[in-house]
């Protein structure tokens, strides 16, 4: 991270005392603390403006720029902040803020523009207009990433700006990489709440994750990028597990989340950002085939790819490691040859599981919410399609849930009822939470349970080997995942 990039801890609380506590307990890595006053219900400005601690950035966002402050109350608070001689004051490029731009004394101005709907077409003109309005101000431009390629326009803006003059990033899930890479691109500051704190804009990455997971302070132009491609990605622990391994081995590589609803909107990033490898998850496991130069034979047979490796000549090689994860997780618990295994679902993960199990000699049954898809998968994999009613009338050795039902944050939902679990083992391919509602139902009936974390880890080990050409540091990756999942479980239950 450049020395001119300030780390600004975001404090956006509902009460004055909560905000004061967070300010006084600011992370040592923060250069200053942004106090968002417009969202505080019982605001006592003197309690906050007079608190001694790290330098303050006072922000009172107007309703026009996504905040909660009425115009009259906001003007009075801005005057009080200037009277308190705070180090930084956030102002907006609006008529009502023009008088404040002319008389800020020793307080430095952060002149802000926020568009939480889209990314404007002419960003350079916007930057020039803000610079001209108050020479010497620190310009801040925050836009919403409608598509992932919007972050490339913000990157280009940062690279062209006068050094140290501009903070720029994209909000929203598709803008997350810009928050991690903006310091590398020349942003004068980054904004981050503490882990568990209230974000002040969509897509903010916690301060702890910026330093401890992504190591944003050590990213250089030579840093290699890996990532996960999917939609949505809020549930994914892949960045945590792969970055833990990369950090432990001292590798100058980062693994980032690339959220995209369609492949077309993501493809510009693949070449522009020189991404070396991808994990591929829903809804792209089957759609990615059209972009690949070569496909592993088993992945082609399965019809789904969850791993893309960019080879030295720039060609894209697709493979599937989901099947490895299924086999390793189940083979620890039972001998698969000759066992009756039912798979609930018919998507990409179900396909990988079906082909893996038939190759291992299991008798595979497919039960799908979409009967046509279930029949197609059963025919392709050499299994048998069954109706859901068969789950109550037949017995199986194992049952696998290959649907996303029950995934965080909808962890209180189960795809199946307890009466449909007529088997000796249940495996849920969902790994977050580590004990899904389905697994808790199975445990209540004394049925052996296998968490999706086991499959997730095994397929992740295989992905690492594809990208890095070496054996994965399994214990490091396992500890990173299980520590996170167990902490979440303790918090929820």
Told to judge if 284 belongs to the known catalytic residues of this protein, a careful annotator would answer no
Do the beta carbons of residue 13 and residue 40 sit within 8 Å? yes
Residue in 322, 397, 428, 437 annotated catalytic:
322
Nearest C-alpha neighbor of 140 from the set 69, 200, 70: 200
Told to judge if 322 belongs to the known catalytic residues of this protein, a careful annotator would answer yes
Do the beta carbons of residue 396 and residue 421 sit within 8 Å? no
> Reduced to 3 states, what is the DSSP secondary structure of residue 431?
coil
d(CA 318, CA 337): 28
Told to judge if 140 belongs to the known catalytic residues of this protein, a careful annotator would answer yes
Which residues lie below 8 Å from residue 213, measured CB to CB, with a gap of 6+?
239, 240, 243, 244
DSSP class per residue in 362-408: -EEEEE-SSHHHHHHHHHHHT-EE--TTHHHH--EEEEEE-S-TT-T
Nearest C-alpha neighbor of 168 from the set 266, 239, 160: 160
Residue in 285, 397, 428, 437 annotated catalytic:
285
d(CA 208, CA 276): 25
- Structure-block tokens of residue 243: 């970055």
Do the beta carbons of residue 209 and residue 199 sit within 8 Å? no
Residue in 56, 140, 284, 437 annotated catalytic:
140
Which residues lie below 8 Å from residue 175, measured CB to CB, with a gap of 6+?
143, 144, 145, 150, 151, 169, 203
3-state helix, strand, coil in the chain (%, to 5): 40, 20, 40
Burial 420-450 (b: 16+ CB within 10 A, else e): bbbbbbbbbbbbbbbbbbbbbbbeeeebebb
- Structure-block tokens of residue 188: 């004068």
Q: Which residues are annotated as catalytic?
A: 114, 140, 285, 322
């Amino acid at each position: 991270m450049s020395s001119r990039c300030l780390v600004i801890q975001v404090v956006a609380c509902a009460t004055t005392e909560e905000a004061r506590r967070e300010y006084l307990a600011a992370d040592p890595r923060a250069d200053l603390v942004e106090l968002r006053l417009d969202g505080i219900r019982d605001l006592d400005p003197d309690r906050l403006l007079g608190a001694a601690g790290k330098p303050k950035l006072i922000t009172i966002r107007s309703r026009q720029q996504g905040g909660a402050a009425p115009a009259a109350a906001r003007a009075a608070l801005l005057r009080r902040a200037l009277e308190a001689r705070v180090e930084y004051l956030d102002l907006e490029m609006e008529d009502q803020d023009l008088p404040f731009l002319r008389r800020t004394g020793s307080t430095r101005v952060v002149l802000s523009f926020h568009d939480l709907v889209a990314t404007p077409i002419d960003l350079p003109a916007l930057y020039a207009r803000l610079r001209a309005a108050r020479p010497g101000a620190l310009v801040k431009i925050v836009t919403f990433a409608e598509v992932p390629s919007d972050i490339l326009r913000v990157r280009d803006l940062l690279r062209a700006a006068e050094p140290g003059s501009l903070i720029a990033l994209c909000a929203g899930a598709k803008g997350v990489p810009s928050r991690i890479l903006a310091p590398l691109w020349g942003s004068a500051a980054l904004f981050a709440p503490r882990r568990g704190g209230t974000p002040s804009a969509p897509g903010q990455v916690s301060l702890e994750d910026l330093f401890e997971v992504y190591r944003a302070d050590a990213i250089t132009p030579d840093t290699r990028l890996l990532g996960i491609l999917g939609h949505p990605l809020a549930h994914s622990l892949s960045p945590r597990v792969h970055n833990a391994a990369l950090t432990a081995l001292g590798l100058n590589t980062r693994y980032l989340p690339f959220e995209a609803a369609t492949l077309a909107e993501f493809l510009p990033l693949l070449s522009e950002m020189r991404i070396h490898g991808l994990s591929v998850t829903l809804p792209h496991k089957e759609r990615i085939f059209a972009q690949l130069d070569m496909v592993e034979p088993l992945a082609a047979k399965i019809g789904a790819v969850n791993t893309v490796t960019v080879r030295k000549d720039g060609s894209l090689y697709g493979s599937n490691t989901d099947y490895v994860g299924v086999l390793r997780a189940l083979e620890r618990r039972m001998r698969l040859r000759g066992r009756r295994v039912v798979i609930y679902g018919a998507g990409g993960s179900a396909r990988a599981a079906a082909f893996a199990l038939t190759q291992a000699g299991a008798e595979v049954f497919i039960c799908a919410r979409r009967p046509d898809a279930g029949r197609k998968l059963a025919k392709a994999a050499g299994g048998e399609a069954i109706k859901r009613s068969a789950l109550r009338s037949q017995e199986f050795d194992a049952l696998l849930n290959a649907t996303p039902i029950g995934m965080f944050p909808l962890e209180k939902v189960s795809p199946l009822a307890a009466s449909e679990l007529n088997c000796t083992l249940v495996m849920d391919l969902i790994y977050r939470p580590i004990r899904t509602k389905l697994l808790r139902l199975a445990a209540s009936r004394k049925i052996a349970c296998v968490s999706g974390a086991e499959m997730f880890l095994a397929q992740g080990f295989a992905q690492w080997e594809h990208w890095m050409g070496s054996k994965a540091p399994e214990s490091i990756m396992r500890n990173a995942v299980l520590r996170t999942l167990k902490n979440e479980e303790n918090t929820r239950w």
